[in-house]
Amino acid sequence: MVRVGEDLNRALHALVAEDPRVYVLGEDIADPYGGAFKITKGLTTRFPERVLTTPISEAGFTGVASGLALCGDKVIVEVMFADFLSLAFDQIVNFAAKSVSMYGEPTPIRMVVRCPAGGQRGYGPTHSQSPQKHFIGVPHLSIYELSPFHANAEVLATMLATGHPCLFVEDKSLYAQRQYDASTVDDLFSYDYVDPERNYARVFMNTPEAADNLILAPGGLFHRALSATRRLFLETERLCQIVVPSRLYPFDVRPLRPLLDRIPLVYVVEESTAGGTWGAEVAVRIYDEMWGRLRHPVRLIHSRDSVIPTASHLERQVIVQDSDIFQALQREP
């Protein structure tokens, strides 16, 4: 069994080996440490000239990466925790993203900023956040999220091929989880892909057409959504589908239209706090496409409006849990 973190490490090794224009930058990524979560393990040993450990300056090394990308190289940046993206906001938003179109002609900026995100680990207020919502709507900036259904080699290749900077949000809780490589999730659930590009993985029980509810969940929320879905079936016999996108933004609702035409209730779950979120963006896109055919409003499920405590029992009260998703699914339309 390959775990998600192992698959990502292998994907990085393959990418650097195959393309001499790929660089990897970040804090503490050098061996023997290999990054805070060991995702870059072995890279500096194999590629010491192109895998570079940096000083503790997110703005500094993200700026260097942006410059390399502007000169035609391809760069993978590791920000140790997604909370620290705020320190690189200017370089990502005001330089990298804008450089794609502000020089009079299209300029490829092939840069991927990897950022471990999310809680569930007891890391406290400044190492547990999910800041995706702060980057929604930035022109020429795409947001992808780590998923157990999407091969990381393909996702990295897709991001670099866009020709503009991308955030790759990696929920820390996924690193040790199984990377799915067949059509079976477990004894009850199977999965397939909604679209030919395989951006949307769909998890279902029995036949997908029988589902009463649709949950849209990024990869880090999948296992909590699955637990809630299983419980809903065992206690009420109601069926859910879970759709896990690889790319969060820009969000294309068109491949989901056949599902939305059949399913009366749609839920979007995310770990961010409410207000200006990815879930709100998804709801707007669904309303644009499906207005007049929706039977109920899209339901949004978020973490509580609070900083994230370190104590595990308090952290669970703030961050979305499977019980919160289950309670939302139970409510009457």
Distance CA 187, CA 101 (A): 49
What are 139-159's pLDDT values in tens digits?
A: 999 999 999 999 999 999 999
The answer on pLDDT for 332 being more than 80 is: no
- The pTM of this model reads 0.96
Q: Report the chain's mean pLDDT, rounded to a whole number.
A: 95
The answer on pLDDT for 44 being more than 80 is: yes
Average pLDDT of span 40-51: 98
Are the beta carbons of 96 and 109 closer than 8 angstroms? yes
Output DSSP code: residue 256.
Answer: G
Average pLDDT of span 15-44: 97
Beta-carbon contacts of residue 43 (< 8 Å; ≥ 6 apart): 12, 13, 16, 24, 29, 31, 34, 51
> Over pLDDT 90: what percentage of the chain?
91
Confidence of residue 179 (pLDDT cuts 50, 70, 90): very high
Q: Region of 142 please: left (phi>0), alpha (psi -120 to 50) or beta.
A: beta
Buried b or exposed e, range 222-254, using 16+ CB within 10 angstroms = bbbbbebbbbbbeeeeebbbbbbbbbbbebebe
The answer on pLDDT for 184 being more than 90 is: yes
Distance CA 87, CA 261 (A): 42
Q: What's domain 190-330's architecture?
A: 3-Layer(aba) Sandwich (3.40)
The answer on pLDDT for 96 being more than 80 is: yes
What are 273-284's pLDDT values in tens digits?
A: 999 999 999 999
The answer on pLDDT for 333 being more than 80 is: no
Are the beta carbons of 65 and 110 closer than 8 angstroms? no
- Delimit the domains of the chain by residue range: 4-174, 190-330
In this predicted structure, what is the pLDDT of residue 294?
Answer: 83
CATH superfamily placement of domain 4-174:
Thiamin diphosphate (ThDP)-binding fold, Pyr/PP domains (3.40.50.970)
In this predicted structure, what is the pLDDT of residue 317?
Answer: 96
Domains 4-174 and 190-330 are alike in CATH topology: yes
Average pLDDT of span 299-321: 96
In this predicted structure, what is the pLDDT of residue 293?
Answer: 82
In this predicted structure, what is the pLDDT of residue 176?
Answer: 97
In this predicted structure, what is the pLDDT of residue 125?
Answer: 95
What are 223-241's pLDDT values in tens digits?
A: 999 999 999 999 999 999 9
